[in-house]
Amino acid sequence: MKKTRIDRKFAELSKQEKKGFVAYLSAGDPNLNDTIDIVLRLEDAGVDVVELGLPFSDPLADGRVNQEAATRALEAGSTFDGVMECVAKIRERSEIPMLFYAYMNPLLARGYESSISASAEAGVDGFLLLDLPLEEARPYRAALTNNALNAIQLVTPTTPDGRIDKIVKQANGFIYCVSREGVTGVQDSIAEGAGGLVQRIKDRTKLPVAMGFGIGTAEQARDAAKLADAVVVGSAIVNAFNDRPQTAEGRADAAAFVGEMVKAVKEI
């Protein structure tokens, strides 16, 4: 499979001996047009990869902040086709690596093969499919491979070593290390044992390992970057852009907040 923007970005970071920063936001929050502006501001703030949540009514892996973001996106009229158009417009102005954080239901409802093909055509680089079990993944992963998209895989604190072995063999792009049990949401500190989980993954693959779930401050981002190849921040970024005024000044302030976390990660 040809290298995606995600592959090239992590290769570049490795060569520079730098850690990566992945930013999550829900596509369509507060609306699709503003999502374009936010993604471009995140890129200007130094973000390496953008993880776009495909709005879904029942995001089971997400805590309150990201659930509410998905609800706002749906209420604003976000649709699958609208998100594809949003990504295509971003691609007219940016080559930042992007992946979809998605649940299977909306993809299957629309037609899985056509959903994946449309995503690739729009300009996305990969998928993180939250509720696709390893045992059922083969035909769905094939569609990603056929469209030259990365298949990002999750490893959690409760994943046994034998299962990690199987997961990493199905993955490419990077491995998403879920640092704690539970759903998404800002926490007070990095979970105890997160470093050990990263090492267990690294013992089994040469793919980059990105740590997420619960990271919300520059200090936490720095601590996570000491353990993993990249840091994923979601709820804190969603909050930053939602809590501030929906103006150029408010967006600039939110982007500056993200920039401080990016700076902390890059200093490692």
Burial of 243 (0-12, 13-18, 19+ CB in 10 A): exposed
Among 86, 83, 95, 91, which Cα is nearest to 55's?
Answer: 83
Buried b (16+ CB within 10 A) or exposed e, 90-124: beeebebbbbbbbbbebbeeeeeeebbebbbebbb
Distance, in Å, from the CA atom of 249 to the CA atom of 235, rounded to the nearest integer, reads 21
Q: Which residues does the annotation mark as catalytic?
A: 51, 62
Q: CB of 202 within 8 A of CB of 209?
A: yes
Residue recorded with tokens 């299977």: 104
| Beta strand ranges found along 121-166 (DSSP E) | 126-129, 150-155
3-state secondary structure of 35: helix
